[in-house]
Amino acid sequence: MNKYTIFGNPVSHSLSPVMQTAGFRHLQLDNTYDKTLLTDENIKDIFFKLGLSGANITVPHKEYAYNSADIVVGDAKTIKAVNTYIRQGDKIVAHNTDSYGFMMAIDEFRPLSSVLIIGAGGTARAIAVALKSANLTTTVANRTAKKLEFFDMLGVNTTTTDNINTNHKYDLVVNATSAGLCDSDYPMSQDKLRRVLTDSKYVFDCIYGTMTPFLSMAKQLNIKYKDGEDMLLYQGVKAMELWTNTKATKGLINSMRSALRDKNGKQGEL
């Protein structure tokens, strides 16, 4: 039996244990998956102290987890934030499956040419890298300019939410902040957000399981919207493939999706 967990703060809301446990059961693996609140402890020390074989990482630890890993694989090297750990002897191998999960989640939002991401954390980084790889014009807006340096180096457009051009048309607007997770906040001022959304085709919120103010505004404007449930699902499916060295079947995906939807009455963030 192997042990897995999700590290985060907060983490009590997370539905990853329900979803990933369903995946292990489908594969007939007697593994466990728990939640671990991580405050100021060293994530690497806690990982080994708990005797884990793997872990997921959620806010606000994705960039911290990247810096603590021994080996970083794939596009996580570019993103410089990770959400999946795998134990390899006395080393931790880190991946980022958020980019894959996001692109799968927005597959129905086609065609796209321009995307606005609100936020500049680890999830926003993964999304920006995925969109740039897909040759989509990408703009990142954040409350402060300080965290935009990564995106400037990536080669995407950047702005602060105060200075955003509300006359520019974006096909898709993504909330990659925690606004609306545990409060009634918007990711930027309501007035500016409304003007940005008015000319948009689609809206996506990385938060899942709740009608955030961001999504409510999209609904009021009759814009097609979606929460982060499918992103959570597919990033989890990719993590499951990495942990078990198997290729996900429709049966595995459906088992994880069913478990997630059975419990998806609570709010959460990837």
62 is catalytic: yes
Q: Using an 8 Å Cβ cutoff, are 141 and 161 in contact? A: yes
The three state secondary structure string of 59-86 is CCCHHHHHHHCCEECCCHHHHCCCCEEE
Give the separation between CA 158 and CA 152, rounded to whole angstroms. 7
H or E, element range at 95: strand 91-95
Exposure string of 150-181, with b = 16+ CB inside 10 Å and e = fewer, is bbeebebbbbebeebeeeeebbbbbbbbbbbb
What would the two tokens of residue 104 be?
A: 């799968």
Backbone angles phi, psi at 136, to 5 degrees: -100, 135
> What's the alpha-carbon Rg for the chain, to the nearest Å?
18
Q: Whole-angstrom Cα distance, residue 269 to residue 55?
A: 16
Query: Among the options 49, 62, 146, 201, which is catalytic?
Result: 62
Q: Which residues contact 148 (CB under 8 A, 6 or more apart)?
A: 120, 140, 142, 158, 159, 160
The catalytic site residues sit at 62
